[in-house]
Amino acid sequence: MNVNQSAPPVPPYGQPQPVYPGYHQSSYGGQPGSTAPPNTYGVYNGPVPGYQQTPPPGVSRAPPSSGVPPASTAQVPCGQGAYGQFGQGDVQNGPSSTVQMQRLPGSQPFGSAPLAPVVSQPAVLQPYGPPPTSAQVTAQLAGMQISGSVTPAPPPSGLGYGPPTSLAPASGSFPNAGLYGSCPQGQAPPLSQAQGHSGAQPPQRSAPQQASSFTPQASGGPRMPSMTGPLLPGQSFGGPPVNQPNHVSSPPPPQAPHPGTQMAGPPGPPPSMHSSQQQGYQLQQNGSFGPARGPQPNYGSPYPGAPAFGSQPGPPQSLPPKRLDPDAIPSPQLNELPPQQKTRHRIDPDAIPSPIQVIEDDRNNRGSEPFVTGVRGQVPPLVTTNFLVKDQGNASPRYIRCTSYNIPCTSDMAKQAQVPLAAVIKPLARLPPEEASPYLVDHGESGPLRCNRCKAYMCPFMQFVEGGRRFQCCFCSCINDVPPQYFQHLDHTGKRVDAYDRPELSLGSYEFLATVDYCKNNKFPSPPAFIFMIDVSYNAIRSGLVRLLCEELKSLLDFLPREGGAEESAIRVGFVTYNKVLHFYNVKSSLAQPQMMVVSDVADMFVPLLDGFLVNVNESRAVIISLLDQIPEMFADTRETETVFAPVIQAGMEALKAAECAGKLFIFHTSLPIAEAPGKLKNRDDRKLINTDKEKTLFQPQTGAYQALAKECVAQGCCVDLFLFPNQYVDVATLSVVPQLTGGSVYKYTCFQVENDQERFMSDLRRDVEKVVGFDAVMRVRTSTGIRAVDFFGAFYMSNTTDVELAGLDGEKTVTVEFKHDDRLNEESGAILQCALLYTSCAGQRRLRIHNLALNCCTQLADLYRNCETDTLINYMAKFAYRGVLNSPVKTVRDTLITQCAQILACYRKNCASPSSAGQLILPECMKLLPVYLNCVLKSDVLQPGAEVTTDDRAYVRQLVTSMDVAETNVFFYPRLLPLTKSPIESTTEPPAIRASEERLSNGDIYLLENGLNLFIWVGAGVQQGVVQSLFSVSSFSQITSGLSILPVLDNPLSKKVRGLIDSLRAQRSRYMKLIVVKQEDKLEMLFKHFLVEDKSLSGGASYVDFLCHMHKEIRQLLS
Ligand SMILES: [Zn+2]
């Protein structure tokens, strides 16, 4: 495949440089790089001194993003202006406009008129890539009221979906509920509705049945928790239900629809009369949600009543196939659906788009072939699909994922669609062993070749001209001379003959060895150092933490990251302990015993020793071991309960500064730092602020001291990883500021107890110490003319509008970048992104890692909607929202998300979908999971906390999500639920997941649920005794210990299989997931139900079905 195929057409080269006909010179000014001196080679992102420039404190992000964003016509008034101000506690650098919401102009009468004509979507625009996927999920949803305030029919009994009050424990009765922390002891809210699963167990539905749209509803049993039970007045589940589920998504050949043969059941007359259809929806339009409606006039047959449910033909083949291109299909077909499906009173959860099915389909369709990156604008397989990547000129999706791989050509189009244009970038992503790490290219003293004007690095999209003597920049169109040593002849296609010998000419990702010009102070860096800083106050000693940690460190020090085949790590280590004062240790190899030096002047922190503080582990091993043996003893009798925190960071940073190296601080901390010192904090937790305008203060740091400190750390390349062991409120929002701004990580072990939490802490620590980190990094994202990076999300610091500064960056962290138009894009040339990360490797080598990605551009909205990636969209939207809560009331943030989602879908409906009844909810194929996933974000703990969620938990999750990759947000918001006892015990494959809803649970089975942070095993009350025995080594259900966190090691196939599965799930995630065993109807079950995200949540979050209806209503409002 020709990696250059997307490069701009070769211009007439004989021309003098400055003026290039056909290229938009005028837009150079908008290029990010244009501010850099146009003449210097080898200077990264402009002058090196920029590195140490220290902007005024509290500097807010300047123009491009702080002005009125071009994309919005109306801004939700929510605290804009506070963005980007570090003084405000914003760790981000976003635009002042937090929210850009735009109601579609109401000029398109919709409602009662037939839909607007379909925009033609010439399929030829996409002659490559995966088949277009725009099957429309149509769902006819009747008017169901849904909102946080409306409580849909409470189930009559037992399913645990009662109104919050029926279950909600008084706040505090569920302390440290273990969702993020680990104190399952003593929580125990009474579960008031107990009979749930026992007697009338709903018929279990297994995954395969999802393929049928309307599974016979045996007896109307309580199988739909949120929908069952008597309908409340004013609440109707009636009306035409969802009628074209997503399960028609097995991969039929593109353009295949032949509706005549695919209709299930009686081929009801296709209702082509829109007017008649509307009758069924008038109620909705009026906002009246009366009792279940009768026959839908246009459905051809009277409402048959419940019996019809039982006679639903549901086999998948009876349904219309996936419609890969709805717009290639004459419009009436949409309505040629099995009429009986339109006449149900309830929305069958099986009939609405299923995440499980979508994931399954993608695995089946795309898991077998490697994803080859040579084609521009190709949407990669989902993050949940296992696939290999072959780099043929574009960066692997492991490094960059985009919300859309086809960008609207104009900002008007982008505004209309409201689809955020963003890339989630994980520059140092770890690759599976089958995939090669990026090649390291060494250009010697001359350094990497760059564009003189915009400073972009040589990449496969650069166009060589004039026989190879010059190249034209694919980002800014500047013509550059090729240095003599880099010259090479071109072949007849204009390609350099050595293209495939040079990674930078043929691959999407590669590294350059940096020259001294790219180094701070024009000096090559020293290897980094790790400093372990251990809280030795009373709580830390008493919990056993200090002893455990010191013991573990002895062996961990042999696993410091090393480069390539190096025998030992180049990283030096140092040790500090502290409570109200700091103790430094001299562990020089020549000493017989370590020496302690106490610094009690915490207000003016200095490092009392240079020589002997940072040492090589192997050289000083004996002294270090001796120290680690002594620390627990030295402080065994401490009565000191108070701690400091900011001085600890300061000390570590000063030590690195004195050693002239970058590095990482590992801080193990237990309590709110109330001792008199800089950064002293007070307990300001106040749950009464929830749902008030002041709620945002709970997420903001309570002092600006930590931002200032973070800035110093970043300048020094000092990354801070924080391990918290709180017994009560520690103000995570404030303590995590420095880790967040330095690219570090925060771990939290609430109510730490050695016996319960040892495994998790040790595992996390081991992984954290061992992981490869790039230090003292700067990242810049360059774009081709027409779009530019305007906003950034993640754990980093920015002192200007373009350079993302990362004191440290590991292989798990992402930086999310949002793009906006600043000019018109060109379909032919597409759009190109180049992410350049300058960093110091663990061995102290200065390098540049380059990732390139070319995207398509479109003039038809349908092409945008065909090439979106919902998982990435959700990742972006969650980060956007989670940053929004720093400055806006949480409700505003939620409303903004809902509106944006509705706008995205309404725009599709209006411009891309075939005309159909307004009563149909039509979702673009690529986005059919947008509502369900968005609902999960909306009801997440940050945006809609339950009573058991603490302020610290929320702050903790908020900062975690900020740098999550797409796979992590995917499972975090929509947990994976696996039946453990359904598949044959011999089967070696992972059991197929089921949807995260209580109705999918059978009381005769055992399930595992994980979301990347938490891991549950749920045991049904009716599980066979033999199974209980095999797994838990007790004779009956009642003897299983609720809250158990370790499964007994038993020598039988089931036990081995389940423990093996847990191990493999843990290995897949970046953090150790502690297991909690939950028994059906046990008090702990509430914890577990929190993660059944398709159900209505106790904190008031809508069920999936309800939310879909709500979304439909919003869309209709936008279109009417
Ligand atoms: Zn350029």
Q: Which tens digits make up the pLDDT trace of 894-931? A: 999 999 999 999 999 999 988 888 788 999 999 999 99
CB 362 within 8 A of CB 382: yes
- Residue 782 CA to ligand 1 center (angstroms) comes to 9
- Residue 788 CA to ligand 1 center (angstroms) comes to 13
- Residue 849 CA to ligand 1 center (angstroms) comes to 18
Structure tokens at 365: 């369709």
- Residue 407 CA to ligand 1 center (angstroms) comes to 21
Q: Which tens digits make up the pLDDT trace of 106-141? A: 333 333 333 222 222 322 233 333 333 334 444 444
* Mean pLDDT computed over 318-334: 32
- Residue 1006 CA to ligand 1 center (angstroms) comes to 58
* Whether the predicted pLDDT of 546 surpasses 50: yes
Q: Which tens digits make up the pLDDT trace of 680-729? A: 999 999 989 998 999 999 999 999 999 999 999 999 999 999 999 999 99
* Whether the predicted pLDDT of 371 surpasses 70: yes
pLDDT band at 346 (very low <50, low <70, confident <90, very high): low
- Residue 989 CA to ligand 1 center (angstroms) comes to 50
User: pTM for the whole thing?
Assistant: 0.74
- Residue 681 CA to ligand 1 center (angstroms) comes to 48
| Helices (runs of H) and strands (runs of E) counted in the chain | 27, 29
**Which residues, other chains included, contact 130 with Cβ-Cβ below 8 Å and sequence gap of 6+?**
366, 378, 379
- Nearest Cα to 526, choosing from 772, 775, 753? 775
- Residue 38 CA to ligand 1 center (angstroms) comes to 10
- Residue 454 CA to ligand 1 center (angstroms) comes to 4
- Residue 787 CA to ligand 1 center (angstroms) comes to 14
- Residue 473 CA to ligand 1 center (angstroms) comes to 4
- Residue 1000 CA to ligand 1 center (angstroms) comes to 55
- Residue 797 CA to ligand 1 center (angstroms) comes to 26
CB 505 within 8 A of CB 498: yes
- Residue 143 CA to ligand 1 center (angstroms) comes to 54
Alpha-carbon span 251 to 131, nearest angstrom: 10
Give how far Cα 1009 sits from Cα of 634, 755, 763, 1096, Å.
Answer: 43, 23, 20, 18
User: Which helix or strand (DSSP H or E) is residue 657 part of?
Assistant: helix 646-658
CB 364 within 8 A of CB 251: yes
Alpha-carbon span 137 to 45, nearest angstrom: 46
Q: Which tens digits make up the pLDDT trace of 778-832? A: 999 999 999 999 999 999 999 999 999 999 999 999 999 999 999 999 999 999 9
- Residue 455 CA to ligand 1 center (angstroms) comes to 6
- Residue 452 CA to ligand 1 center (angstroms) comes to 6
DSSP string, 757-793: HHHHHHHHHHHHHHS-EEEEEEEEEEE-TTEEEEEEE
- Residue 494 CA to ligand 1 center (angstroms) comes to 19
- Residue 474 CA to ligand 1 center (angstroms) comes to 7
- Residue 464 CA to ligand 1 center (angstroms) comes to 13
DSSP string, 487-547: ---B-TTS-BTTGGG-HHHH-SEEEEE--GGGSGGGSPPPPPEEEEEEE-SHHHHHTTHHH
Alpha-carbon span 733 to 698, nearest angstrom: 7
Other beta carbons less than 10 A from residue 442's beta carbon? 12
Q: What is the share, in percent, of the chain residues with pLDDT greater than 70?
A: 69
- Residue 79 CA to ligand 1 center (angstroms) comes to 37
In this predicted structure, what is the pLDDT of residue 180? 55
DSSP string, 225-263: TTT-SPPPTT----SS-B-S-TTTTS-PPTT---HHHH-
- Residue 61 CA to ligand 1 center (angstroms) comes to 24
Phi and psi of 230, rounded to 5°? -65, 140
Mean pLDDT score of the chain: 76
- Residue 423 CA to ligand 1 center (angstroms) comes to 21
pLDDT band at 947 (very low <50, low <70, confident <90, very high): confident
* Whether the predicted pLDDT of 101 surpasses 60: no
In this predicted structure, what is the pLDDT of residue 183? 52
* Whether the predicted pLDDT of 282 surpasses 90: no
- Residue 283 CA to ligand 1 center (angstroms) comes to 58
DSSP string, 929-988: THHHHHHHHHTSTTTS--TT--HHHHHHHHHHHHT--HHHHHHHHS-EEEESSSS-TT--
- Residue 478 CA to ligand 1 center (angstroms) comes to 5
Q: Which tens digits make up the pLDDT trace of 463-503? A: 999 999 999 999 999 999 999 999 999 999 999 999 999 99
pLDDT band at 179 (very low <50, low <70, confident <90, very high): low
Q: Of residues 146 and 746, which shows the higher confidence score?
A: 746
- Residue 784 CA to ligand 1 center (angstroms) comes to 8
Alpha-carbon span 47 to 805, nearest angstrom: 15
Which amino acid belongs to residue 808?
G
- Residue 457 CA to ligand 1 center (angstroms) comes to 8
pLDDT band at 564 (very low <50, low <70, confident <90, very high): confident
